[in-house]
Amino acid sequence: LKHLLTVEALTDEEVMGLIKRASQFKKGARCILNKPQYFVANLFFENSTRTHKSFEVAEKKLGLEVIEFDASTSSVQKGETLYDTILTMSALGVDAVVIRHSDENYYHELVESKSIQCSIINGGDGSGQHPSQCLLDLMTIYEEFGYFEGLKVAIVGDITHSRVAKSNMQLLKRLGAQVYFSGPKEWYDEAFEVYGHYLPLDELVEEVDVMMMLRVQHERHVGENHFSKEAYHQAYGLTIERAKRMKKSAIIMHPAPVNRDVELADQLVESLPSRIVQQMTNGVYMRMAILEAVLNGKA
Ligand code: CP
């Protein structure tokens, strides 16, 4: 891989290769890098805990040189653009940058530039894509079931604003899973019907193998009417009562951060069927696999 920008750009073989490699890292495999020294920088222009820190842990586990970057104390504050920031990183000899940015498709001008040599790893672009989250989610599902074909996956909640939902619906559908959607109709788009079908949550809860709950993205709802927490939880959340109706083998997922007692009941976050903590742990191993593939694939 030269870059990781979207899940659509990955072949099925690359996806399965990354899942396999991440699982090997989880079992203690050592990394194989083409050069003894690589420099990487994590540039987060939107807030993050999991993606930022799990990339950092992954980088340190791989023995990479991690260059500190804090947008709030950088020349971004003097008006420097994203393009000029990455041009600078490239000129300094940074091999790969992980970027999270609020602009959808921010990466196009970076990868089209002849002057920028570093690999771009998309850590989330607005409501666009979140490929590393999707890959760690798929790793978690694969660890549980060992296959994707025919698996029933519900993606529930704030779908229009969710980059996690978009990456997951695209890749899950391509790998043969049956994707269903639920949640407020105002946060759903008919365009998603290409990937799956919308059903009321109470019709889905007993049928699916994976309940993937999404965070209500308050920061992207400027000017919109909000549900009260309780009203949202009762109408669209995974309540204790709904969770009791799930199949015994079904699992609960959430990319986190979780709004407890909104998307799912507080007690369910660390419950037996929940794989939310496992998702976070798998994030480190999947990001090790991504970094290794990108750095070794760098032109
Ligand atoms: N799941 C996820 O992307 O979390 P962060 O926003 O904390 O990185």
Query: Average pLDDT, whole number, for the chain?
Result: 96
Say yes or no to pLDDT of 299 above 60.
no
Full strand arrangement of the beta sheet holding 196-198:
196-198, 178-182, 152-156, 210-213, 251-253
Site to probe by mutation for ligand 1, drawn from 44, 51, 53, 216 as the one with most ligand atoms within 8 Å of Cβ, is 51
Structure tokens at 64: 């990479």
pLDDT digits (tens, 9 = 90+) for 122-136: 999 999 999 999 999
Residue 124 near residue 130, CB atoms below 8 Å: yes
Q: What is the pLDDT of residue 1?
A: 93
Q: Which amino acid is at 197?
A: H
pLDDT at 193 over 70: yes
The residues that bridge with 67 in the sheet, in sequence order, are: 41
Q: Ligand 1 centre from 115 Cα, in Å?
A: 30
How far apart are the CA of 255 and the centre of ligand 1, in A?
7
Q: How many angstroms separate the CA atoms of 94 and 149, rounded?
A: 39
pLDDT at 226: 74
Residues 274, 180: Cα–Cα separation, whole Å: 19
Kindly give the interhelix angle for 131-145 and 163-174, rounded to the nearest 10 degrees: 50
For residue 131 and ligand 1, the question of a CB distance below 6 A is answered with no
Whether 268 is in the pocket of ligand 1, judged by its Cβ within 6 Å, is no
In this structure, are residues 133 and 100 in contact, taking their beta carbons and an 8 Å threshold?
no
Q: Which residue has the higher pLDDT, 161 or 224?
A: 161
pLDDT at residue number 100 = 98
- Find out whether the beta carbon of 49 lies less than 6 Å from any atom of ligand 1: yes
Stretch 21-43: mean pLDDT, rounded?
97
Structure tokens at 255: 């990319």
Quickly state the pLDDT bin for 225 (edges 50, 70, 90). Answer: low
pLDDT band at 217 (very low <50, low <70, confident <90, very high): confident
Q: 107 pLDDT exceeds 90? A: yes
The pLDDT, as a whole number, for residue 239 is 98
**Which residue puts its alpha carbon closest to atom 5 of ligand 1?**
48
| pLDDT class of 218 with cuts at 50, 70, 90 | confident
Q: SS3 for 225?
A: coil
Distance from C-alpha of 252 to C-alpha of 203, rounded to nearest angstrom: 16
The annotated binding site for L-aspartate is made up of 78, 163, 215
> Rounded to 5 degrees, what are φ and ψ at 257?
-70, 145
- 223 confidence band (pLDDT: 50, 70, 90): low
Atom of ligand 1 nearest to the CA of 124: 3
Q: How many angstroms does the Cα of residue 46 sit away from the middle of ligand 1?
A: 10
Closest CA to 3 of 89, 101, 123: 123
How much of the chain exceeds pLDDT 70, in percent? 98
Q: What is the mean pLDDT of residues 160-182?
A: 97
Cβ proximity of 251 and 274 under 8 Å? yes
Give residue-wise pLDDT tens across range 35-65: 999 999 999 999 999 999 999 999 999 999 9
- Which segments are annotated as binding site? 50-51, 78, 100, 130, 133, 163, 215, 256-257
For ligand 1, say whether the CB of 178 is within 6 Å of any of its atoms. no
Contact 160, 127 (CB under 8 A): yes
CA 49 to centroid of ligand 1, rounded, Å? 6
For ligand 1, whether the C-beta of 81 sits within 6 Å is: no
Q: What is the Cα–Cα distance from 197 to 182, expressed in whole angstroms? A: 9
Q: What is the DSSP string of 59-117?
A: HHHTT-EEEP--GGGSGGGGT--HHHHHHHHHHHT--EEEEEESSTTTTHHHHH-SS--
